[in-house]
Amino acid sequence: MEHIQTLEQKIDYLRKTLQEKENELFEMKRNWMPMQPNSTQPEFTTLYSRNENVTKVQYGNKLPKWAIERYSRQILLPDIGVVGQEKLCNAKVLIVGAGGLGCPAAVYLAGAGIGEIGIIDYDKVDITNIHRQILHGECDQDKSKAESAAETLKSINSNIKITPYMVQLDSTNALEIMSKYDVVLDCTDNVPTRYLLNDACVMTKLPLISGSALKMEGQLTVYGYRSQGNIEKEVYQGPCYRCVFPQPPPAETVGSCSANGVAGPIPGVIGALQALEAIKLLVGHKYEKLLVERLLIFDGDDVTFRTVKLRSRNLSCPVCSENPEITKLIDYEVFCKSQAKEKDVDLQILTPECRISAQKLKELLESSDKRHLLIDVRNEEEFNMCRIDGAVNYPIEQLHGTKVEEIKKMVHENSQVTFICRRGNDSQIAAKMVLDHINEDHKEKIKDLIGGLHSWSENIDHEFPVY
């Protein structure tokens, strides 16, 4: 064990050294590049040949030989061309979330030659991420997702700048970070962050390309689009997220990949399309060709795409109207009544005397003088993946009517009934439902497992899978 820890420390040191050397190389390339006369465009972050006898293949003194060769396949497209490629090389894109959506989006943006890509993610790589988050590998477990993504992207394109942000985006830092970029990609999985990104994008006048993926379905649209008055006859402004969704949905109606699952290719499809919309927007496509005021829906079950029309911009929107009510960022967890960090969710519904630890549950199960019933309230698929021996499955979404009556009868027949779930949240809800419908003299029999099966795995059975 000591040898493993020493090796991990050495690897961590080498990673940090590599990061420092890559940054040093990046600065050297930028400093060695000759200045372009009378150019108002930002300089390309790459190394030019210093041999004056070598003819440089350029366009308008802006696009060097290496860029023409590297990006030739997309430069050949009339919708991009040399001018469009120049715009991509000078663009700065911020990706919020280095997960299932952010990873494929970042891959294609890096490949396209976006000048600078920022990646925000507070989380660390977990083994459950790797089936869909393609920038991370097995060797990256417990490593910052933002750092892991940045390292992989640098191996894809060393000529661009990658800036990782290992922070939780919130009202205190959003405007400062986002104001450095041209486009923002919402690759998150929670409602508070969506409202935060929307409001910050409106305040910084940035377009927001928003994607989502869950189970076998994905969605994509563009919020906050603004046309340039000197290009189009009429200035057009698309709806923001609040125009379409003025109020957040109830927290209990919002699903997540960790709770509901997702097929890996689904966020792959949506993330790739987010990158495509960003490229189109940056090269100057008008709103008619973008997903502005339209929502793309991808159904992986039957592999179909369809688009639905969204509400137009609300001229009385509290954030994007001419006279907004919201002029500064707020507490979005309070506004949405839900947390931005799903992994930190820890409901406190039951009183302490109605809850037991994993160790206490183990002792009770090993006691032969009492009849102890375990009721697992996870869905059938989860129950079939792994379960404690002897547990019976009553999915929480089915706990109503006759099912509650069945459980009440089992409570009368057993000395104790313990509800269990994955993390100790749904089990509290289920226990509370039964406690509210049972006689007072049987209530002391009903318990729930603190921390759920995660706690059971950590404290009792280390072979029990955590997912």
Active-site residue set: 257, 421
Q: Percent helix, strand and coil across the chain, each rounded to 5?
A: 40, 15, 45
Pairing state of beta strands 92-96 and 116-120? Answer: parallel
How far apart (Å, rounded) are the C-alpha atoms in residues 417 and 322? Answer: 58
d(CA 176, CA 171): 10
CA angle 293–297–302, rounded 5-degree value: 160
Short-list 163, 130, 200, 147, CA closest to 26: 163
Whole-angstrom CA distances from 403 to 313, 413, 423, 437, 444 are 46, 16, 22, 12, 20
186 neighbors 221 (Cβ within 8 angstroms): no
Whether residue 444 contacts residue 466, with contact meaning beta carbons closer than 8 Å, is answered with no
Alpha-carbon span 424 to 428, nearest angstrom? 7
- The full DSSP string for 17-42 is HHHHHHHHHHHHHHHHSPPPTT--SP
β-sheet bridge partners, residue 210: 186, 221
Which residue's structure tokens are 């699952």?
A: 261
Cβ of 94: how many Cβ atoms within 10 Å?
A: 25
How far the first Cα of the chain sits from its last, in Å, is: 24
Q: Which two tokens stand for residue 293?
A: 């005021």
Partners of residue 306 on adjacent β-strands = 297
What's phi and psi for 116, nearest 5 deg? -145, 135
How far, in Å, are 32, 77, 80, 112 from residue 64 at the CA level? 14, 18, 16, 15
